[in-house]
Amino acid sequence: MPRPRLAVPLAALLLAGPASARAADAPVTAEVWGRSTIPLGDPAFTADGRLVTSHHPAFATAERVSVFAAPDRLEPYPNAVWNAGPSGPDHFDSVQGMCTDSKGVMWMGDMGEREKAVPKIVGWDTKADRLARTIMLPPPATVPASEPQDLVVDETRGLIVLADEATGQGGDGSQGALIVVDVASGQARRVLQGSKGTTPEDRDIVVDGRPLQRLEAKTGKRAPMRVGADGIALDARSEWLYFGPLNGSAVYRVRMADLADAALKPDALEKRVERYAARPNAGGMLMDADDNLYLTEIEHRAVGVIPPGDRCYRQVATSPDMLWPDGLATGPDGMIYVTVTQLPLAAPFDDGDMKARAPFLVMRFRPQPVAPRARCG
């Protein structure tokens, strides 16, 4: 899907003076676009502009993927059969990340978490309303702890890259990695496992003053939440891939040309990973055509941005209703849509009790130009 450019050039902002710059740099209040009676996951738009959403696997909803038939009404997507299970090449198990390419194919990452099934990618042709491709992701591309979720599509090279957070089956994120998939052949490679940018830092995620912990089903004990590679974004030129763990103080990047080079040794590839910018603990990522990198600030009910000019993180949209903003997608109207999951209130993170309550929101805001800063902070 084409990525909109900001309506106001940065040069015009610079000429407008300090007062205008301060106004443009203040976060806007996100507005509610849609409401759901069931928890949401990540968003993506079909070729004809309909909003499709996954349902976060932590909530174990009967639905796996839905489409907003109206801002307050969901229907199974692409149909009820795909959402009925059991897990397999022609049924969803536990979908999280989604991305629609320029041909209208929506690529969906299926973790296989519910039935401990082999993870997969499902490509659905949203124009013809039919299956385009299913790509299975067996070992060694995945490991027992794998939860491949957010993904990007590099149409220049015919590749899909998934961020594997590695928190399945009691995993602690230490096996976090990227998975590089050749769409034509279906071959997948696991890269940068345990590397900077794919493994979590030892820093708590604190929401409303409470460090987030996860209830381990096997032991019945609680442990600090540590999640590996989570957010992932690709620039419009397919030159740089940006990524980072959920628990982390920085965004990292690597050239797609290096990531695509299967002959490059693991140590050599790791040396080509760059620290791009500082940021708070963050989940979803989205990069626009001007290289502005948007991130969901999971601790503070906000979405932030890192502009390419100064690489300084700042909040751009907030709302008291934005409890755990998760996925981001650019709509046909040029606005950025945000799914709100209420994840800290899901049973695995709240003493086994499900305290999240409907409505579950889709919010949106119009991106604004930001004033460059002489220094971050």
- The whole-number mean pLDDT for each consecutive block of 10 residues of the chain, a chain of 377 residues, reads 36 35 72 98 98 95 96 97 88 96 98 93 98 97 96 98 94 96 98 96 94 78 91 98 98 98 97 98 97 97 97 97 97 98 89 88 95 88
Confidence (pLDDT) at 357: 94
309 domain-assigned: no
**Helical H runs in 9-151?**
10-16, 18-25, 80-84
Burial of 242 (0-12, 13-18, 19+ CB in 10 A): buried
- 310-314, Cβ contacts within 8 angstroms, sequence gap of 24 or more: 310/372, 310/373, 310/374, 310/376, 311/276, 311/277, 311/376, 312/277, 312/373, 312/375, 312/376, 312/377, 313/277, 313/278, 313/279, 313/280, 313/376, 314/25, 314/27, 314/370, 314/373
Please state the pTM of the whole predicted model: 0.92
252 domain-assigned: yes
Tokens 């086994």 — which residue?
352
The domain that contains 223 carries what CATH number?
2.120.10.30
Confidence (pLDDT) at 370: 86
DSSP one-letter code for 58: G
258 domain-assigned: yes
129 domain-assigned: no
**Overall size of the chain counted in residues:** 377
Question: What are residue 53's DSSP bridge partners?
Answer: 43, 66
In single-letter form, the type of residue at position 79 comes to N
Structure tokens at 23: 């106004």
Q: What is the per-residue pLDDT across 55-90, written as a single tens digit (0 to 9) for each?
A: 999 999 999 999 999 999 999 999 999 999 788 889
How many domains, in total, are found in the chain? 1
Confidence (pLDDT) at 273: 98
Neighbours of 208 (CB within 10 A): 10
244 domain-assigned: yes
157 domain-assigned: yes
19 domain-assigned: no
Domain of residue 225, residue span: 137-278
Structure tokens at 161: 């890259």
CA distance 42 to 338: 8
369 domain-assigned: no
